[in-house]
Amino acid sequence: MATDTSARVSGLDALELGPQAAKGASPSQLAGKVWQSLWPKVLAVVIVLAVWQLVVLSEWKSPYVLPGPAAVFEELRNEVTTGAFWNSILITMRRALVGFFFAILIGTAIGAAVAAFRPLRAAIGSLITGLQTMPSVIWFPFAILLFKISEGAIMFVVILGAAPSIANGLISGIDYVPPNWKRVGKVLGMRGLSLYRHLILPASLPSFVSGTKQGWSFAWRSLMAGELLVIVVGQLSLGARLQGARDLNDAPSLLAFIIVILLIGILVDIVFNAADKALRRRWGLTQT
């Protein structure tokens, strides 16, 4: 009887789980997969370059102000061999990461506090959403007044730009923890801090990650605006180099830096998407 049930249990389990998908793919299959995801991107770049080249060829503007792709990529190739270029990237990325780090700390603290205390939510819940809709660049005059032309002014605006999104992501994550998980938590004896640690915080992770992703894009935009407006002496950041290129009427260099900034944005987006995807796969939120 016992072995009979045991066989039935494992038999049904095997049937319900379905056949195991073959693991690993042959190199040719893998190459096909990579090509599948790559060719639309390659095509997009080709189209953009072609249109750009056509506009240059039409002589709509003098090549002084609108150089062609060849000139810009030539400039870019020369640029990446210099130490100054990498130093600029270092300065900008350090600002971005430090600002983003503090935005996460502050946004998380505010989000957790607002989610936990009802009166606080009534008081500043809508304020956070309001802040989120404000273009953070409008804070710069005030920031410069407060902190002069300094790193502090840039950090102030970067944090102000990113923290509301991060706080909101956490708040909605906590608000939408499924009630049946909360019941399970209660049944298991989770109270107060342990409820937060073992249930509420992990359960709100997906929403927190998307809030953080949005926060990053606000931080990055605020930083770029800040680097154009607040040029700190001796800190040749990407924004400062961009502004410098404009002052010298150096169009190829200007466009080269725009491309660099675009590429950084794309790279960071890839990282965030990978994190988001990995999380969704672990939770079984995606069909694969």
Interface with other proteins by CB under 8 A: which residues?
1-2, 5-6, 8-10, 12-13, 16-17, 178, 180-181, 183-184, 186-190, 194, 198-199, 202-203, 205, 282-285
Shortest Å, Cβ 144 to other proteins: 44
The span from the CA of 144 to the CA of 138, in Å, is 11
Of 187 and 233, nearer to other proteins (C-beta) is 187
116: left (phi over 0), alpha (psi -120 to 50) or beta: alpha
Shortest Å, Cβ 187 to other proteins: 5
Shortest Å, Cβ 21 to other proteins: 12
Measured from the Cβ of residue 45, the count of other Cβ atoms closer than 10 Å reads 9
All residues at 6 or more sequence positions from 109 whose CB lies less than 8 Å from its CB, including other chains: none
All residues at 6 or more sequence positions from 178 whose CB lies less than 8 Å from its CB, including other chains: 203
Of 33 and 186, nearer to other proteins (C-beta) is 186
Of 83 and 189, nearer to other proteins (C-beta) is 189
**Residue 234 backbone phi and psi in degrees, to 5:** 85, -10
The span from the CA of 19 to the CA of 72, in Å, is 54
Cα–Cα distances in angstroms (integers) from residue 13 to residues 2, 9, 18, 106, 171, in the given order? 17, 6, 9, 47, 39
Shortest Å, Cβ 175 to other proteins: 18
Of 58 and 180, nearer to other proteins (C-beta) is 180
Shortest Å, Cβ 4 to other proteins: 9
Of 94 and 198, nearer to other proteins (C-beta) is 198
